[in-house]
């Protein structure tokens, strides 16, 4: 898809971060933008600000972990604009630690948003796009964590690897059918987003019991926030996404420097060696100023 003006985009997680930047880019390209997010206040603000930029924008409060919400998102999109040409399954959260220490609530919440959210988007919108028989594109947001070994959060790493696999499967199935619907998977490194504040939007029924953070945990969170504050601006990622859509490029690696860590994982696998923690490489990459 090389022409965007007048076409319709649906973006989840659109109230902030990468989703908001992609929505802004959609408006600048002359697209009609449907913004979906669970954060109603930020969603309303994004809708107002993008309309002020001249965009034809619709905001739909959506919890992507709920299939009925995504089905309603599709209905409202079609009622408002009649078609959908670009779907960006971007909503995501981070929580939990090691596989056994992450709580059941952590696993349920992260899988619900990061994986089921993408599955719901794919299942609901792909048939609509196929029926239209026009050029369309689906972008699923994974992470560099979906290409690396391990990570601090087992639920997060698990879902991001799964999104890569889901996207590859979707791409191949659509290519086999010679479909006009194309697919990309976005695997960014650190981006200046609000992911460190994901807990603010955790559903009440999936909240953990309050625990006192150790000094080590507090220091780790402080370092992570500093790295996020110094990270790539979301608008730069949005630019990479639109370049990939125009070029029908599947893998979107907005942070090519992270390929060093991906290469290490691949080399270990091909030599059938045990996994190696990429922390040393990753810490160098996320150090403020890099």
* Domain range annotation of the chain: 8-212+232-256
Radius of gyration of the chain (CA): 19
pLDDT for position 84 = 98
Of 156, 171, 242, 258, the catalytic one is 156
Question: Which pLDDT belongs to residue 213?
Answer: 60
CB-based contact 241:22 (threshold 8 Å)? yes
Q: Quick one: pLDDT at residue 147?
A: 94
Residue 156 is a catalytic residue: yes
* pTM beyond 0.85, yes or no: yes
Q: Is 227 helix (H, G, I), strand (E, B) or coil?
A: helix
* Element at 218 (helix H, strand E): helix 215-229
Give dist(CA 270, CA 152) in Å, integer: 24
Looking at CATH, the fold of the domain delimited by 8-212+232-256 is given as Rossmann fold (3.40.50)
CA dist., res. 36 & res. 60, Å (int): 5
pLDDT value of position 220: 63
Q: Could you list the mean pLDDT of each consecutive 10-residue stretch along the chain, which spans 290 residues?
A: 96 97 97 98 97 95 98 98 98 94 97 98 98 97 92 91 98 97 96 85 92 66 75 93 98 91 92 86 63
- The pLDDT of residue 285: 66
């Amino acid at each position: 898809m090389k022409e965007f003006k007048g076409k319709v985009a649906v973006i989840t997680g659109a109230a902030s971060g990468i989703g908001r930047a992609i929505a802004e880019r959609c408006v600048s390209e002359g697209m009609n933008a449907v913004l979906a997010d669970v954060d109603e206040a930020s969603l309303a603000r994004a809708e107002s600000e993008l309309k002020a930029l001249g965009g034809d924008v619709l905001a739909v409060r959506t919890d992507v972990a709920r299939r009925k919400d995504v089905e309603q998102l599709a209905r409202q999109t079609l009622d408002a604009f009649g078609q959908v040409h670009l779907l960006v399954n971007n909503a995501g959260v981070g929580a939990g630690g090691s596989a056994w220490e992450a709580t059941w609530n952590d696993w349920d919440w992260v899988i619900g948003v990061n994986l089921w959210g993408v599955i719901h988007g794919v299942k609901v919108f792909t048939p609509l796009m196929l029926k239209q028989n026009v050029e369309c594109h689906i972008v699923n947001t994974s992470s560099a964590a979906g290409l690396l070994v391990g990570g601090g959060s087992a639920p997060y790493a698990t879902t991001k690897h799964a999104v890569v696999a889901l996207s590859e499967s979707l791409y191949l199935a659509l290519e086999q059918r010679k479909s006009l619907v194309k697919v990309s998977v976005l695997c960014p490194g650190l981006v200046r987003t609000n992911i460190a504040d994901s807990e603010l939007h955790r559903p009440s029924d999936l909240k953990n019991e309050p625990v006192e953070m150790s000094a080590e945990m507090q220091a780790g969170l402080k370092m992570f926030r500093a790295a996020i504050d110094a990270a790539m601006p979301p608008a730069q990622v949005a630019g990479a996404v639109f370049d990939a859509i125009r070029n029908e490029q599947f893998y979107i690696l907005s942070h090519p420097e992270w390929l060093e860590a991906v290469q290490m994982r691949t080399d270990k696998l091909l030599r059938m060696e045990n996994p190696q923690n990429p922390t040393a490489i990753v810490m160098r990459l996320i150090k403020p100023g890099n």
